[in-house]
A and B are shown apart, each in its own frame.
Chain A
Amino acid sequence: MDQLARMGEWVVSAEPGAVLTCIGLGSCIGLALVDRRAAVAGLAHVMLPSSPRSGDAPQPGKYADLAVPALLAAVLEHGAARHRLEAVLVGGAQMFRLGAGSGADIGARNEAAVRAELQRERVAVAAAATGGDKGRTVKVHVAGDVLSREAAGDTMRLLGADLELVA
């Protein structure tokens, strides 16, 4: 059964056959961290680039700067090896022109923030389906298949369970 990563949350699984899902990503980023050999995967539904500077953030999964390290810690805890981890990014679309004057739109800023955190953690980005103006849904099979589907569009395979593909 699919495990849903709701907005601002993350899910992790090492159970064979488990599927992790983010539904209806607009400007949000679905960040998958996958260790295909160990068959461990995690998926976070990141909403905003950075956490507020003052006060404590009640929901670390909301913000890229907190969600990336938290998701990383969670997949390592489930048996993933840091050097085998691959990141896949889905979402970050700009569906509307809103919030003018703030420079780049929120979708692009979310993607940039997630990528910066991954670089800091030295996790490589294996694939991405980001930007554009369409919403997306992402499904992560713990064995390693990562599938993205655009609104009213086709399904795209971003990462395969087949390890030979990357050998």
Chain B
Amino acid sequence: MSTPSYSELQLDGLRELANIGSGTAAAALSQLLGHPVDISVPMAAAMPLDEAIAVAGAPDEQRYGILVPIVGDLEAAVVLLIGEDDARSLTGVFGLTPEDEHGRSALGEIGNILGTSYINVLAQMCGMEMEPEPPQVVSDMLGAILASVLLARGDVDIALVLDSALQVEGRPCSLSFLLLPAPGGVDDLLGRIGLA
């Protein structure tokens, strides 16, 4: 176990990757929803777990969480966090609600499309093989969702969080989009973009 730390230059590089990845993801989401989608400038930061969670909100806030596990050369998780009202607004595009089974699978599909397009761009840019696994959708406490994802692979002191906010125009709805690479994977990623 080691405690990774990253230089500003490296974080800039990762932020740029996140920027390109989330741009592609936003375009895919916009196509799916038939509405323009705005993205924020992504945040890239390496921080202790509870701070990483605090970035997304209070630990007991209710969220829909969509997990897309990434396997291959980069072990990572893509996590979408959507508030109750935003989930209602998003599934409403398809005439569904987040509570019913079809609404749930619509959320999973949104996660799948966002995660896959994001990961495909990263894979292309870095020349790495990355494969998204099927999405898993939960409705739970924010802290429980993120801690479970971050700790599932074992010991983590510092989590690298690449966070982009997506805003759907014409529908009052935003979602938080996190890429959480496994610690070893970050070094590989940095190596591929010449910042190791």
Residue of A7, A98, A105, A152 touching B147 (CB-CB under 8 A): A7
When the two chains form their complex, are residues B149 and A7 in contact, meaning their CB atoms are under 8 A apart? no
B interface, how many residues as a size bin?
A: 20 to 34
When the two chains form their complex, are residues B152 and A93 in contact, meaning their CB atoms are under 8 A apart? no
When the two chains form their complex, are residues A48 and B154 in contact, meaning their CB atoms are under 8 A apart? yes
Please measure, in the bound complex, the distance between the C-alpha atom of A150 and the C-alpha atom of B67, giving whole angstroms: 20
Which stretch, B13-21, B29-37, B86-94, B133-141, touches the partner chain A? B133-141
When the two chains form their complex, are residues A98 and B143 in contact, meaning their CB atoms are under 8 A apart? no
Contact A24:B67 (CB < 8 A) given known A7-B147, A47-B147: no
Please measure, in the bound complex, the distance between the C-alpha atom of A17 and the C-alpha atom of B67, giving whole angstroms: 40
With a cutoff of 8 Å between Cβ atoms, the chain B residues found around residue A94 in the complex are 148
With a cutoff of 8 Å between Cβ atoms, the chain B residues found around residue A24 in the complex are 53, 59-60, 141-144, 147
B192 interfacial contact with A, CB 8 Å: no
With a cutoff of 8 Å between Cβ atoms, the chain A residues found around residue B8 in the complex are none
Tell me which residues from 111 to 146 in chain B have a Cβ below 8 Å from any Cβ of chain A: 136, 138-146
Interface residues of B: mostly helix, strand, loop or mixed?
Answer: mixed
Bitwise interface map of B from 51 to 92 toward A, beta carbon under 8 Å scored 1, else 0: 001000011101001010100000001000000000000000
CB-based nearest B residue for A152: B62
Please measure, in the bound complex, the distance between the C-alpha atom of A25 and the C-alpha atom of B143, giving whole angstroms: 7
B50 interfacial contact with A, CB 8 Å: yes
When the two chains form their complex, are residues B144 and A93 in contact, meaning their CB atoms are under 8 A apart? yes
Give the distance to chain A from B118, nearest Cβ to Cβ, in Å: 18
Tell me which residues from 43 to 59 in chain A have a Cβ below 8 Å from any Cβ of chain B: 47-48, 52, 55, 58-59
Most buried by B among A23, A58, A135, A152: A135
Give the distance to chain A from B171, nearest Cβ to Cβ, in Å: 24
With a cutoff of 8 Å between Cβ atoms, the chain A residues found around residue B60 in the complex are 23-24, 137
User: Residues of A within 8 Å of B, CB-based: how many?
Assistant: 32
Residue of A25, A59, A96 touching B152 (CB-CB under 8 A): A96
B49 interfacial contact with A, CB 8 Å: yes
Please measure, in the bound complex, the distance between the C-alpha atom of A55 and the C-alpha atom of B138, giving whole angstroms: 37
With a cutoff of 8 Å between Cβ atoms, the chain B residues found around residue A93 in the complex are 144, 148
Give the distance to chain A from B98, nearest Cβ to Cβ, in Å: 12
B101 interfacial contact with A, CB 8 Å: no
Give the distance to chain B from A75, nearest Cβ to Cβ, in Å: 23
A36 interfacial contact with B, CB 8 Å: no
With a cutoff of 8 Å between Cβ atoms, the chain A residues found around residue B157 in the complex are 58-59
Give the distance to chain B from A94, nearest Cβ to Cβ, in Å: 8
Give the distance to chain B from A61, nearest Cβ to Cβ, in Å: 12
* Interface pairs (8), CB distance under 8 Å: A24-B59, A26-B145, A48-B151, A55-B1, A95-B148, A135-B140, A137-B60, A151-B139
Which residues of chain B have a CB within 8 Å of any CB of chain A?
Answer: 1, 49-50, 53, 58-60, 62, 65, 67, 69, 77, 136, 138-149, 151-155, 157
New A-B pairs, 5, CB < 8 Å, besides A27-B147, A97-B136, A137-B141? A25-B147, A26-B151, A47-B151, A135-B140, A135-B143
Per CB-CB distance, the 8 closest pairs between chain A and chain B, nearest first, are A24-B143, A135-B144, A26-B144, A26-B148, A24-B59, A98-B152, A24-B141, A135-B141
Which residues of chain A have a CB within 8 Å of any CB of chain B?
Answer: 6-8, 23-28, 47-48, 52, 55, 58-59, 93-99, 105-107, 133-137, 151-152
